Amino acid sequence: MSTTHRLLVCDDDESLRETLIEQLDLYEEFVTVSAEDGKSALARVAEDRIDLAIMDVGLPDMDGREAVRTMRRNGYRGPVIVLSAQDSEEDTVEGLEAGANDYVAKPFKFAVLLARIRAHLRSHEASEDAVFQIGPYTFRPGAKLLICERGSKLKLTEKETAILRFLYRAGREVVGRDTLLAEVWGYNAQVTTHTLETHIYRLRQKIEPNPAVTAILVTEGGGYKLLP
C-alpha cells in the first residue's frame, strides 16, 4: 500500500476545483482539501499537513504566485504546482521564480497533472526538506527529528532515522528484517538481526507511549511496519 498524501487544490473556478478533487479522490493514495482563494490556501498550509499544493494563478483576492511566495516565506517546503491559463515563457518563469516546482497551462489533461503530482511527491520524499506524519509525530528526516504534537523534539540517530524513513515509505506493508538490514546497513556480513532488534527497541523507547504495548512501530510476520 502506498502512503496517503494530502493535497491542497486551490482554484476559484468551483467547477474545475470540484472536478479535480473528484478525480484525485478516486485514488487511495490521495486525500484532498480545497481552497477558493489565496487567504484560505495560506491558512490550510499553515494549519494542516499538506504534502503538495496545486495553486491557480487567477485567485479572487491575490495573484496565486504571490500566495506561493508567501507560503515559501512562511516555511512551506512541499511541492507546489501552479495552474494558469497563460502559458507564455514569461508567465512560466514568473511562476517558477515565485517558488513553484512546476507550471501547468490550462486546459490540461488530468493524466498529465496526475503524473506530475506523483513525480514531485517522489522527488520531495527523497529530499532533505521532506516532512512526514508518523502517529502523533511530525517526522523531519533531514534534521533527524521527531516533533511531538505539543512542539517538543526527539532527536534521532542516523540509523533510527533511516529505519523510520524506510518503514514510512512502505506504507502499511510489513518490511522483513533482512530487507530492513540491507536497506539501512547495506550488505554487511558483520551486522546481524540482533543489531536491528536493538535499534528497534531503542526507537520504541523514544516514540511509543507505552513501549511494552507497541502502537506505532509494530512487529508482524517476521518484520516491522508503522501504523498511522
Q: Spell out the per-residue pLDDT of the chain, length 228, in tens.
A: 345 788 999 999 999 999 999 999 999 889 999 999 999 999 999 888 788 999 999 999 999 999 999 999 998 889 999 998 877 788 778 888 889 999 999 999 999 999 999 999 988 877 777 788 888 888 888 889 999 888 899 999 999 999 998 888 787 789 999 999 988 988 666 788 899 999 999 999 999 999 889 999 999 988 999 986
Name the phi and psi angles at 220, rounded to 5. Answer: -160, 135
Q: CATH 3.40.50.2300 in the chain, residues?
A: 5-126
Q: Which residues, other chains included, contact 201 with Cβ-Cβ below 8 Å and sequence gap of 6+?
A: none
Of the candidates 174, 182, 184, the one whose C-alpha atom is nearest the C-alpha of residue 224 is: 174
Burial 196-226 (b: 16+ CB within 10 A, else e): beebbeebbeebbeeeeebebbeeeeebbbb
Which CATH architecture describes the domain 132-226? Orthogonal Bundle (1.10)
Question: How is residue 147 written as a grid cell?
Answer: 516533533
Which CATH architecture describes the domain 5-126? 3-Layer(aba) Sandwich (3.40)
Q: CATH 1.10.10.10 in the chain, residues?
A: 132-226
Does this model's pTM top 0.85? My answer is no
